[in-house]
Structure 1
Amino acid sequence: MDSISDPELLDFLPQLVQALKYECYLDSHLVRFLLRRAIGDVRIAHYLFWLLKDTLQDSQFSVRYQYLLAALLCCSGRGLREEFDRQCWLVNILAKVAQRVRDASPSSRQAILREGLDEVKQFFSVNSNCRLPLNPGLLVKGINIQSCSYFNSNAVPLKLSFQNLDLLGDNINVIFKSGDDLRQDMLTLQIIRIMNKIWIQEGLDMRMVIFRCFSTGRGRGMVEMIPSAETLRKIQVEHGVTGSFKDRPLADWLQKHNPTEDEYEKAVENFIYSCAGCCVATYILGICDRHNDNIMLKTSGHMFHIDFGKFLGHAQMFGNIKRDRAPFVFTSDMAYVINGGDKPSSRFHDFVDLCCEAYNLIRKHAHLFLNLLGLMLSSGIPELSDVDDLKYVYDALRPHESEADATMHFTRLIESSLGSVATKLNFFIHNLAQMKFASSEERPVLSFAPRVYTVKNDGVIRSLFVCRHIKTYSPSKGYSYVVKVEREQQGSTLVQRTFEEFHELHSKLQLIFPSSKLPSFPSRFVIGRSRGEALADRRKEELNGYVWHLIHASQDVAQCDLIYTFFHPLPRDERAGSVGTVVNALHNKQADVTWAPVPGTVAGEVKLSILYKSDKLFIMVMHIRGLDGTDPDPYVKLYLLPDPQKTSKRKTKAARRTCNPTYNEMLVYDKIPRGDLQQRTIHLRVLNEGAFWENTLLGETIIHLKDLVPGHRWLNFELCRDGTVGVNTAVNMDAEAISASRVGLNRA
């Protein structure tokens, strides 16, 4: 192990500390190795100190670890020992404060927190600075009491804001937990961090958010806070308590924080990669108790999970029913972001391929993860205590299967997770449960506004006038209303809002003010066929009356933050300007990512992977894109020609209502001698499955196996008179591989 680098050693340090239990003698090669490396790197010394201190609670091995901790302190200099003393002092103060806040009644918790943080302030008056146990690179000089609070969960963790010793650095925000065993979270994040390093080493950056969590003793520890992130629950409930059942909340939230097309495109890309990484990692580790308060999304599009109190398949139960019914959390609102709309696009193919590639890369290192978890069996983590817990990970990794079989398996898991209603229902129930924790001090916010604006920021609004309506096309065809906003001692600005956004404003004003203080809102319901431009004209006049009465209401209503946020110009207003055109990014994104066939020749593309091994021909049908049709139910049918007995028919299952289906299904032909392979031809057809009528042909192509020569290159075939179509074939270098192909389909 002498050749291992310091960063690599840090990745495996918790397991090496546990391995000390199995040394026959106290003075062993492993002990000397760890002490020698700790002397050479202060980071190793720091984490080794806290890991050893945490294991002192182990009754069977506490004496051994006391000797090892004493040896480490003897090897350390006086300055480092004093630093450890300061950290222990700070942790003890925080643990007492957290316990008092947790034991207090909800109404008195904030006052008790402020009182307890005065002790922390006194600590920093005695000690000019202190490093946080979470990371020795975090050096703090004080605490910002006004920015500290607590979370309304069972453990009532503290949100702490420390003053950075670096004058140019931001405050350092951490969560301090008391009453929760963070060793399981710590292990889970360690495994995810190692997974991420494997992906990066293989050239696959999954854009994972890696944060630190560290146990500072049984039942207490620190967690790093990620800035610019929000829980899925808070994002979804911006669309009401039933927001968990809607498809648009995540996309709208990302659009709100990434108003330009380039920013939104980058955020969606980050979302696709990080979501794929989360799906793979949480499935392999069997992360349970997944609700929308422990899944978070950054404004940059990165998704990540927090709170790993249940793992290795130890799901919470309602009677005999598991709370976590899906293999992992992948819901329709996540698919909406990936597809750029509610219909499958080629981007979904990329997402599936990313998941399967990431999954197969981790499977290659199955022994590493099983060994890392196996070394922790004696650590005292309740849900990792016997071999059955390791078997869960073994079964999830499926090391005995081929990559093709694993790809098919994970594709079915994606389909199962996406089709699970139980996940959304679980989110909804959690929304209802969290309503009792909602603070009366929390003010409602608008779902489409990235931040809150006030009269102090923007200036007093003198008048509002709805001057016209303009047509919009996404998320559905409709009208947007242009409002002229005039402020005192400022020029006028134009903002555009939909009728639904006006209704959201009114609904949230009703949460703050009694109805007697608010003007009546125009009816949302339309009777008969009074739609289109006539309805838009009528609503324009009604909204004009509404905003006039709103701005002339009592001062507490007219100058409330909701109204000033609503009429603050957004980037979309600046793009529209005075021309009255709306550039809707989500609408454009779906058009960009949905592949369309070229009229007249090719009616789509199919991606295949073809392998010949042991007299068997394996054809994996992966994806199809750009089928010509209106929401068909396509399936693929294969014939291996010549076929005089007509026994070579193979087919996939039918995908439902999509022009861009994903299959990842393996079709196998047995007893194909290698000598016959060059004379064989694949006839591939894509048909629309009809329930009460004959199946219709959507596209077909002929693939000559003799033309698929091993090697990395592209072969281009022009359209022939006999109707065969252009074929682009990418060929693998594997000895037995024939091709991984993307083939054009002839229009039916």
Structure 2
Amino acid sequence: LTVLFPAIPAVNFIFSLSVFFCVCVFSCKTMILLYLSSDIITVCVCVSRLRSAYPHSNYSTNAGFVWSPSVGHDELHQALGVSMKVTIISEHFREPLTFTCDGSSTVDLLIYQTLCYAQDDLDHVNVDDYLLKSVVEKLTAAILDLVELYCSTFNANFHTTLQSRSCMAPIQEAGLVTNLLSFNVYAAHRIPITWATSYEGFFLSCSLTHGGVELCAPQHTSKQAISKYLFHLVVWDQRVCFPVPINQLPRETQLTVTLHASLLPPPGGGEEKGKQWRSIEALGWAIYITLPSSVPQVDFPTSSFEVVFSTPPPADFCPQYEFSRLDTTSQTQLQNVLKLTADDKRLLWEKRAYYQTESVALPLVLASAPCWQWACLPEIYALLRQWACLVHLDALGLLHASFPDQELRRTAVQWMDSISDTELLDYLPQLVQALKYECYLDSSLVRFLLRRAIGDIRIAHYLFWLLKDNLQDSQFSARYQHLLAALLCCVGRALRDEFDRQCWLVSILTKVAQKVRDASPSSRQVSRGESLEEMKQYFSINSCCRLPLNPALLVTGINIQSCSFFNSNAVPLKLSFQNLDPLGENINVIFKSGDDLRQDMLTLQMIRIMNKIWIQEGLDMRMVIFKCFSTGRGRGMVEMIPHADTLRKIQVEHGVTGSFKDRTLADWLQKHNPTDEQYDKAVENFIYSCAGCCVATYILGICDRHNDNIMLKTSGHMFHIDFGKFLGHAQMFGNIKRDRAPFVFTSDMAYVINGGDKPSSRFHDFVDLCCEAYNLIRKHTHLFLNLLGLMLSCGIPELSDLDDLKYVCDALRPNESEADATMYFTRLIESSLCSVATKLNFFFHNLAQMKFASSEDRLTLSFAPRVYTARSDGLIKNLFICRHIRTASTSKGYAFVVRVEREGQLEVQLVQRTFEEFQELHSKLGLVFPSSKLPSFPSRLVIGRSRGEATADRRKDELNGYVWHLIHAAPEVAQVSPDKAHPGELWWSSGKELGEIKLSISYKNDKLFIMVMHIRGLVSLSDGTDPDPYVKLYLLPDPMKMSKKKTKAARRTCNPTYNEMLVYDRIPRGDLDQRLIHLRVLSDGAFWENTLLGQTFIHLNRLVPGQHWVDWHQLGGAGSDSAH
């Protein structure tokens, strides 16, 4: 694993200079010099060739999928016919003389035209005597000198037309250059002003890597401070020399330049404290520059030669032997190689001649190559040419970042050329990510993808949306923009118009989803109907449109009456589109805005590939594979599966304790399949699909499984949805994993399989199915490691390092025999079936969905007197008492802050509960369940200051233990434990509107003025009394919290008025765009701890100097990160 996926950033970058240079000189003729990146020019040539190879009139290469009309070529050097307005001021004219002239006019013509207004006789006029002529000639000469200086300094591949070169520079092979790699680090420009007051000791570290492996020790510059000339910059003017000759560097060697600095020590700290504070921090890397950004200036030495790297031919001789001829010890050692050590690499490279018939071993052998310098390449290329041709799936392993060599990647793409268009769609996301590892835009992989996109509309469709989704990647956005432009140029106008319609549709749906989510729960239905009216206007303009989810889905309108939304945190939309096929049903999809669907998309891709492997091996697991596609960061579409219900909905038909009953699923299937034949078929579908789900969810480590994200069709097919946790990243309850079973397999599922509560032969068949499916996937371990490894740089948080890949490798156990793996998975089935935790998890979800209501007042909690539903408030998945705080109530005691996590909600809610309220909960539980054994409540007698901090701290730990035992108590008791955490009882939370504050902000003479004017709509304290509010400000960034300012406290009001001015001095103008106001409203607790009432963050980039910015700002809770 460490060989194929080195522990490095997703990709290193070649430090290069790309210049757009354009000069216009108004002289005897107009001269335009244009220099673009050679990489982009090469791609443009590649696209032009591709288009010419697939003309729209050739039906053998274009079967009506893509319309590709010919493109007219503009003459680059053709005059543009620009007219210019000229104004001349002279002592010979009373008023300025104004006229227009053509852009190609000479200076002589301009002078003559001017003299026409001043003189009648122009026969004896000499234009050389006029200052304008001499000045323009000098300016032209100066600009030409500047261009020549640029060409010679940066070794540009262009020159001026007036430049005379007697001969071109001689060419020298890179393999013959024995000089050490060296360059001059002059300075770092465009330094943010805030760095000058926050950091010191700036220095650059320079490192050389090839495929993620460092070629030598990094080199460092000296430490320097920020200087200010015209702008802030750090000057080193220092030579950096690597102890490596140029001829020993691989062609794809990458130079990474990193800027470091140390934090300034806090003022007033001692010398020892200052030493502890000065930790080195990386501030930036030399990557594809995106503005605004700091720019390091690195000057490479000039050379009298043009150094080129020619691909060496393969070696003439490369031995090849049968693996069976190798001694037994070496065979065993090589077969057990997975995580290569240095000795393993040495052995593998020495015995490479015996491995050439094992195609899948090529990535390991190449990763063991001692070096990739020019002199070693003939031997590597000979090995590559002689190796057994890899199948297209194995060739994916050569597209990782650890293999940057261009010839190697070209060969891998050539081996992949045999893949069919349908199979290519399964691996398209990984190939799009592999584009990040290409050194150049014009690469074999780019040409391969564009060529396939021209020939198949499905590939063009999905490639478009994958490229568009990756435009949000800050490091690679420029590369993906160029590739997206190349794709749009290749596919033709008809498909470009289709993509425009799809983007318009997604934009409208995003706005609708945002409006519905922002509306109050009671008005969301009305907001949905009003917002969807815009869809009617869309379809009145566009007669039909393909859905981004699938290009085969053509829709002509939307059925607003059938549309709705789901009451989860993101409030996804349920949409019903009218099918273009008059005989077809409406197309129902879910549109999500606010959720990242890339992880769901990847998980479903892995399950789809598993299903195809099973089918190819003759094993149909009856899997339900639905489509999920991201159309941009935080939005996407999901296919809806008809005739399916969640397990929770099925189980609660038998009451809240339905998850503990074994007949629930069997009765539901019997109800929907009344005949014996139908029921037997449904049971068979259930057995196969349940086995497939068990294997797939275990291998991928899919967590957070409960009965609301497992669904069952009336036909018996079971499937999972909502893959927010995978690769073993389980939900935690304190230090306990919420998903404690290997996968979800409960007794009610076994009841369906067995046909009763006793084991039957069908259960044996189920175990055999699971083990067979598991072993079939184990044979393709390298495929799944390659696919997931290529996605390490995609930005999914739970797939970011080697540990995530190691989880899948450990789950597949590739070094074990099939017999051992069969025994292992059988134990997993037994463990899952015997796990009580899964049923308890289901049970708590059933509880969270039911209404807590009672006609007896004695059973109602005083702090939760209302009725709540999971639909409106969300499912509780975790409770933890995180701290205690002093209350501002008259009791002058302590309250405990309970951390509440809910299903489908990213925000964490905090509930304030007192010790007495926990006592009330315990006593009410005793009344409801008199015959059940309750956990003991920590109500020991405390003498003295029972409300002191030490007592509160001890009670926090005891209450955490009580809550834990309560959740793990008998089911009829544990069901009530979430009742104390209703969101309706929060007196503040991160998602609740907590009032507004009116501010007047202005900036003048390096001073920031903030007037705190009014606050309205503050919430009362937990005891119902009005707060004593005051405002506290911080000007971020402020790591030492030195910018604190606050107002006076108002007394007993929820709508205070302040009109107090808070002033910050010495704030540079250029610093405003990078500053942020952190405003908090607190209630003065007098002798006790102050209570947070609300907060907000305000960006100052909207502030116009010299003007007053007066506005109301919404206050959020403690977890609010919204900014205005």
In the alignment of these two chains, the number of paired residues is 440
1:461-517, Cα deviation, whole Å (9 max, x unpaired): xxxxxxxxxxxxxxxxxxxxxxxxxxxxxxxxxxxxxxxxxxxxxxxxxxxxxxxxx
Q: Could you tell me which amino acid in structure 2 is paired with residue 77 of structure 1? A: G
Task: Name the SS for the 1:56 alignment partner.
Answer: helix
Q: Could you tell me which amino acid in structure 2 is paired with residue 430 of structure 1? A: H
Give 1:418's match in structure 2, choosing from 828, 833, 837.
833
Quick check: 1:26 aligned with 2:441? yes
Structure 1 unmatched runs, 5+: 441-748
Quick check: 1:145 aligned with 2:560? yes
Quick check: 1:322 aligned with 2:737? yes
Quick check: 1:191 aligned with 2:606? yes
Task: Name the SS for the 1:142 alignment partner.
Answer: strand
Cross-structure match for 1:297: 712
Asked whether the equivalents of residues 267 and 301 of structure 1 are also in contact (C-alpha less than 8 Å), the reply is yes
Cross-structure match for 2:367: none
1:385-444, Cα deviation, whole Å (9 max, x unpaired): 00000000000000011101100110000001001111011111112223344679xxxx
Quick check: 1:212 aligned with 2:619? no
**Structure with higher RCO (Cα < 8 A, 6+ apart):** 1
Cross-structure match for 1:97: 512
- Relative to structure 1, the CA distance from residue 182 to residue 356 in structure 2 (aligned partners, 3 Å threshold; closer, same or farther) is same
Superposed, which structure 2 residues align to 1:329-408 within 5 Å? Answer: 329-408=744-823
Cross-structure match for 1:157: 572
Task: Name the SS for the 1:256 alignment partner.
Answer: helix
Superposed, which structure 2 residues align to 1:265-304 within 5 Å? Answer: 265-304=680-719
Q: Could you tell me which amino acid in structure 2 is paired with residue 316 of structure 1? A: Q
Q: Could you tell me which amino acid in structure 2 is paired with residue 300 of structure 1? A: S
Asked whether the equivalents of residues 152 and 437 of structure 1 are also in contact (C-alpha less than 8 Å), the reply is no
1:191-249, Cα deviation, whole Å (9 max, x unpaired): 00000000000000000001100000000000000111111111111111111111111
> Over aligned residues, Cα RMSD in angstroms?
0.9
Aligned partners of 1:246, 1:153: CA distance in 2, in Å? 28
Cross-structure match for 1:172: 587
Aligned partners of 2:672, 2:623: CA distance in 1, in Å? 20
Give 1:62's match in structure 2, choosing from 459, 477, 486.
477
Cross-structure match for 2:824: 409
Cross-structure match for 1:80: 495
Quick check: 1:310 aligned with 2:310? no
Task: Name the SS for the 1:89 alignment partner.
Answer: helix
1:130-155, Cα deviation, whole Å (9 max, x unpaired): 10000000000000011111112222
Cross-structure match for 2:886: none
Aligned partners of 1:63, 1:17: CA distance in 2, in Å? 14
Cross-structure match for 1:12: 427
Aligned partners of 1:254, 1:32: CA distance in 2, in Å? 52
Quick check: 1:222 aligned with 2:634? no
Quick check: 1:121 aligned with 2:536? yes
Asked whether the equivalents of residues 849 and 871 of structure 2 are also in contact (C-alpha less than 8 Å), the reply is no
Asked whether the equivalents of residues 848 and 870 of structure 2 are also in contact (C-alpha less than 8 Å), the reply is no
Question: TM-score, normalised to structure 2's length?
Answer: 0.39
Q: Could you tell me which amino acid in structure 2 is paired with residue 408 of structure 1? A: M
Aligned partners of 2:562, 2:452: CA distance in 1, in Å? 39
Q: Could you tell me which amino acid in structure 2 is paired with residue 236 of structure 1? A: Q
Cross-structure match for 1:258: 673
Structure 2 unmatched runs, 5+: 1-415, 851-867, 873-1124
Superposed, which structure 2 residues align to 1:693-712 within 5 Å? Answer: none
Asked whether the equivalents of residues 176 and 220 of structure 1 are also in contact (C-alpha less than 8 Å), the reply is yes
Task: Name the SS for the 2:472 alignment partner.
Answer: coil
1:22-43, Cα deviation, whole Å (9 max, x unpaired): 0111000000000000000000
Quick check: 1:71 aligned with 2:486? yes
Task: Name the SS for the 2:742 alignment partner.
Answer: coil
Task: Name the SS for the 1:297 alignment partner.
Answer: strand
CA shift for structure 1 position 103: 1.9
Aligned partners of 2:722, 2:555: CA distance in 1, in Å? 25
Aligned partners of 2:755, 2:618: CA distance in 1, in Å? 26
Cross-structure match for 1:469: none
Q: Could you tell me which amino acid in structure 2 is paired with residue 243 of structure 1? A: G
Superposed, which structure 2 residues align to 1:269-668 within 5 Å? Answer: 269-435=684-850, 436-437=868-869
Asked whether the equivalents of residues 567 and 871 of structure 2 are also in contact (C-alpha less than 8 Å), the reply is no
Task: Name the SS for the 1:296 alignment partner.
Answer: strand
- Relative to structure 1, the CA distance from residue 437 to residue 99 in structure 2 (aligned partners, 3 Å threshold; closer, same or farther) is farther
Identity %: 89
Asked whether the equivalents of residues 728 and 807 of structure 2 are also in contact (C-alpha less than 8 Å), the reply is yes
Aligned partners of 1:154, 1:292: CA distance in 2, in Å? 18
Aligned partners of 2:870, 2:722: CA distance in 1, in Å? 20
Cross-structure match for 1:650: none
Task: Name the SS for the 2:787 alignment partner.
Answer: helix
1:246-299, Cα deviation, whole Å (9 max, x unpaired): 111100010000000000000000000000000000000000110111100000
Give 2:648's match in structure 1, choosing from 225, 233, 245.
233
Cross-structure match for 2:457: 42
Asked whether the equivalents of residues 603 and 723 of structure 2 are also in contact (C-alpha less than 8 Å), the reply is yes
CA shift for structure 1 position 321: 1.1
Aligned partners of 1:434, 1:157: CA distance in 2, in Å? 19
Task: Name the SS for the 2:427 alignment partner.
Answer: helix
Cross-structure match for 2:597: 182
Task: Name the SS for the 2:629 alignment partner.
Answer: strand
Aligned partners of 2:647, 2:501: CA distance in 1, in Å? 37
Cross-structure match for 1:683: none
Aligned partners of 1:310, 1:100: CA distance in 2, in Å? 28
Cross-structure match for 1:743: none
Cross-structure match for 1:569: none
Cross-structure match for 2:125: none
1:698-739, Cα deviation, whole Å (9 max, x unpaired): xxxxxxxxxxxxxxxxxxxxxxxxxxxxxxxxxxxxxxxxxx
Task: Name the SS for the 1:259 alignment partner.
Answer: coil
Aligned partners of 1:94, 1:301: CA distance in 2, in Å? 33
Task: Name the SS for the 2:763 alignment partner.
Answer: helix
Task: Name the SS for the 1:174 alignment partner.
Answer: strand
1:604-653, Cα deviation, whole Å (9 max, x unpaired): xxxxxxxxxxxxxxxxxxxxxxxxxxxxxxxxxxxxxxxxxxxxxxxxxx
